[in-house]
Structure 1
Amino acid sequence: MRTGEIDEIAPEALLLHLEAFHHGVAVGLSHHPRAEGRKQSTARNLLERLRDQAHTVLRFADDPRHVPFTNNCGERALRPVKTQLKISGCHQSADGATAWLAVRSYLDSARKHGLSAFEAIHRAFTGTLWMPPITQTT
């Protein structure tokens, strides 16, 4: 577990924040009434999505140890791909793109498990390839 992460949110704090979330959505919906027969505003669409998908949006609150608060990890993993495309415009071939993405994926997975990029590459070239641990969910 990284510094600053918590195993669970205290029930009284969770209740307070859930009530505030639902109240905020309700107030927002009252300020952006549904326009019958017309396309809804972006704000209205977002508020309806937050209301209708509240359990999904707030899933991190049920299990903060296993569900991250943000999707920054996913965005960080995509950033090098977008940078590469901006610099070169594209990969030279589909095989080259596949190989590059395989290496990026391997290095990202190793980093997430505490291995440095140098150590992961060293192990790959010396025949002791690092593999992520296999966990079984029940």
Structure 2
Amino acid sequence: MGTKADFTEILSKKEEVAAVFPLQEHWPPLSNLDLLLPPVDVGVFFCCKKQEAFGDSISFGSLVSVLKKAMAQALVSYYVFAGEVVPNTVGEPELVCNNRGVDFVEAYADVELQNLDLHNPDESIEGKLVPQKKHGVLWVQV
């Protein structure tokens, strides 16, 4: 059984990363399975060493910049992740590919990864590293 980790997370920056090339807005159809199953939130968080551990090779800001550029390029091919789910005229969820962008959050936490039980996140991190998604299809936290 995991133990609850006692730490605070400090949000430093939140922005949206969109595809590097503009995309035409469209509405791909959802399958019956998409309409029957409950919605699933998709999120990713990356953990990095403390800034002083990078030495002279790369700063945390440079690392984040590279991740954002790579994501903007990847969203050209995976444009669905840059869209959002909205209710249609009859109240069913509909995917709108509008290049709204992916929520990209930079945050710091005062905890060692070895002190977290990532196999049981409800007990160890209590939703701190994976906040609730408010908009869009995907969010990323570094």
TM-score over 0.5 for the pair: no
Q: Counting strand residues as a fraction of each chain, which structure ranks higher?
A: 2
Q: TM-score by structure 1 length? A: 0.28
Q: Counting helix residues as a fraction of each chain, which structure ranks higher?
A: 1
Greater Cα radius of gyration, structure 1 or 2:
1
| Higher RCO (C-alpha under 8 Å, 6+ residues apart) | 2
Q: TM-score by structure 2 length? A: 0.28
